[in-house]
Amino acid sequence: MSCEYPPQAKQLRKSPTPEESEHTSPVSRQDTAVREFKEAVTNLIRSTAPPAYLLPKPPGCSVGQSFSIEDMGLLHHYTAYTSLTFADLPEIIEIYRVTAPQLAFSDPDLLSSLLAISALHRAHVDPDPERQQEYFRRATKHQSRSIHVLQNRIANITQENCVGLYLSACILSIYTLAEKSWLWRCSRDAASLDDVVRCLRLFRGVPSILRHENHAVFGWIMDGPLKPIGDGFLYKPTGRFTTEQESYFAVLREFLVEDRDAGEEERGVYLEALRVLREYAEPLLDGRVQRQIETVGLTLAWPSIVSEQYLKYLGEPRRGAILLLAQYAALFARLGHFWWAKAWGKTVLAVSVELLPEVWKWAIRSFCRENEVTFSSA
């Protein structure tokens, strides 16, 4: 199976060849890819400590030691319900629903990931507060094991383990978004830009796995059962803005160009980030190609492509960087039909907009109204 689009909508995007990136040695690229993701997972471990009353008791995980009745229930819920909530295209859903469980029985780390996301999904949909907390404890237990093992495995990616590892990393991104939303809701701590930057860095880390071994991992993925996911990195339909959307992005560019608080180099970073954001916004906002694209993959792509310098400006924080984050959050909020995305997008949108000048706030809010994005103040 492959993600095929009409010929007129196809746009080939090739991975860099060794010749195209000869200025960087394969070892350097490999080390960078490994370091990016390993640091992202390490920061995730440090930053996702839940409230004490939600910590699993006792510690440990049944995966790899025993497979309990409770685990069987979670796996059933995963295959019947949770796996259907990660994508739009049938061929991608099939990977999560069928391929992932098949691989998981010979990959304890992947199995832990599936059980964790299933338990977290149960916590989100169960109306009983006590059961919600119990499912969250179980999710934390399974995920704690998964991310520690993943952190160690990332340094030794092989053709044999790359498929399970990459699936675990993809699910980790979804889990992190859902868990952050849960913790923001259950604790007194408000969402912060630091939380958001950590999530964005994790998004960046997942594609970095494909660059391992001088892009060899991407070749292995394309030769295996995850090919439909790999196709998403190569082909993207070309969308087209409406006149109103075109004018709106021109206004965003004008805001960035005329920002007196930013120097020339800083403005250049923002304009490049806006160019990339626009490239992905066009198909996401074009109703004519909605059924041809995997909206989840396209929406999560921007953080993995935007420059490291942009993330540094966002962490300071600089208002031009926050403006772009707000616009990205407005696009992300369109994934609100997915349980794991709804609260994260709205929260980040509200937090970032509140930090903007009034005229910039007005622009973002106007975009939300005109593009059916629910907006609520922080």
Domain hosting 291: range is 243-370
Residues 61 and 201 grouped into a single domain:
yes
Q: How far apart are CA 79 and CA 158, in angstroms?
A: 27
Kindly indicate the confidence band of residue 365, based on its pLDDT and cuts at 50, 70 and 90: very high
Residues 191 and 250 grouped into a single domain:
no
Q: What pLDDT sits at residue 18?
A: 36
Residues 187 and 213 grouped into a single domain:
yes
Q: Do 319 and 328 meet the contact criterion of CB atoms below 8 Å apart? A: no
Structure token pair of residue 263: 């120097």
Residue 356, pLDDT above cutoff 80: yes
Q: What pLDDT sits at residue 206?
A: 82
Q: Is 23 exposed, middle or buried (0-12, 13-18, 19+ CB in 10 A)?
A: exposed
Where is average pLDDT lowest: 3-7, 36-40, 193-197, 244-248? Answer: 3-7
Taking the model in full, what pTM does it have?
A: 0.82
Where is average pLDDT lowest: 16-20, 117-121, 271-275? Answer: 16-20
Buried-state track 24-57, b at ≥16 Cβ within 10 A, e below 16: eeeeebbeebbebbbebbebbeeebebeeebebe
Q: How far apart are CA 203 and CA 197, in angstroms?
A: 10
Give strand pairing partners of 12: 235
Residue 263, pLDDT above cutoff 70: yes
Residues 304 and 267 grouped into a single domain:
yes
Residues 160 and 191 grouped into a single domain:
yes
Given 233, 256, 284, the domain boundary residue is 233
Residue 14, pLDDT above cutoff 70: no
Residues 158 and 277 grouped into a single domain:
no
Q: Which candidate, 348, 328, 235, places its Cα nearest to that of 277? A: 328
Kindly indicate the confidence band of residue 375, based on its pLDDT and cuts at 50, 70 and 90: low
Residues 216 and 250 grouped into a single domain:
no
Where is average pLDDT lowest: 155-164, 206-215, 321-330, 348-357? Answer: 206-215
Residue 145, pLDDT above cutoff 60: yes
Q: What pLDDT sits at residue 210?
A: 82
Where is average pLDDT lowest: 37-41, 184-188, 213-217, 306-310? Answer: 37-41
Residues 52 and 93 grouped into a single domain:
yes
Q: What pLDDT sits at residue 184?
A: 78
Residues 272 and 210 grouped into a single domain:
no
Looking at residues 46-51, what average pLDDT do you find?
A: 48
Q: Is 93 exposed, middle or buried (0-12, 13-18, 19+ CB in 10 A)?
A: middle
Residues 42 and 175 grouped into a single domain:
yes
Residues 255 and 318 grouped into a single domain:
yes
- Max mean pLDDT among 40-44, 287-291, 292-296, 336-340 falls in 336-340
Domain-embedded: residue 375: no
Buried-state track 304-320, b at ≥16 Cβ within 10 A, e below 16: bebeebbbebbbebbbb
Kindly indicate the confidence band of residue 55, based on its pLDDT and cuts at 50, 70 and 90: very low
Residues 64 and 154 grouped into a single domain:
yes
Kindly indicate the confidence band of residue 60, based on its pLDDT and cuts at 50, 70 and 90: very low
Q: Do 236 and 13 meet the contact criterion of CB atoms below 8 Å apart? A: yes
Q: Which candidate, 103, 102, 95, 140, places its Cα nearest to that of 118? A: 140
Residue 178, pLDDT above cutoff 60: yes
